[in-house]
A = this chain, B = another copy of it.
Amino acid sequence: MAGARSDILEFAVLGILDDGPLHGYELRKRLSGVLGAFRAISYGSLYPALKTLKGRGLISEFQPVTDADLEAAAAGPALSSKRARISYALTAAGKDRFAELVSDASPESWEDERFAARMAFFGRTEATVRMRILTGRRSRLEERVATLRESMARSRDRVDTYTQMLAEHGLEGAEREVAWLDSLIAKEVKK
């Protein structure tokens, strides 16, 4: 993914806006479904990020005024609020950037922080890249399982029951994710 570190927010925002324009507040809600598991980003992170993205010419701001605009921008339960919210849309450069990011398959893609976001946009990801990320994630997790097992074996008698149960639960979680990935990979192959 070209850049260095947490372009993950950039990626997620571009990906969501690639689906249609949205205003900040709603964007944030969608973000929590895309960024790993449960974490929601704060406005103190989102709005500055939006500003940066705009500064880089990847997204553009607009106030939806016509009904059509409202419909396009709201895309929610209802066109409830009439307040002039600030909506954001991808520019051509933004679309290009997202296309670039979504075609990347470098190892960071399957690390904890990024994997969920990457998978959330698998619908717009090439099959080969998808496969690479899934298998990469799988081997990453197996690695973790191995490390965990080893460290549990080493410390078995030193640590108390609670620590052990904690570690065991973590191990089971990792194994479960491996199994889940296996099923996803199998589905990919069948396709």
Contacts and interface: CB of A to CB of B under 8 A. Distances in A.
Contacts of A165: 119, 184
Given A170-B38, A173-B173, A33 B119 contact: no
Determine how many copies of this chain the complex contains: 2
A12 B22 CA distance: 43
Q: Is the interface of A mostly helix, strand, loop or mixed?
A: helix
B33 A162 contact: no
A144 interface: yes
Contacts of A167: 33
B34 A163 contact: yes
B144 A38 contact: yes
Interface stretch (A65-73, A79-87, A92-100, A153-161): A153-161
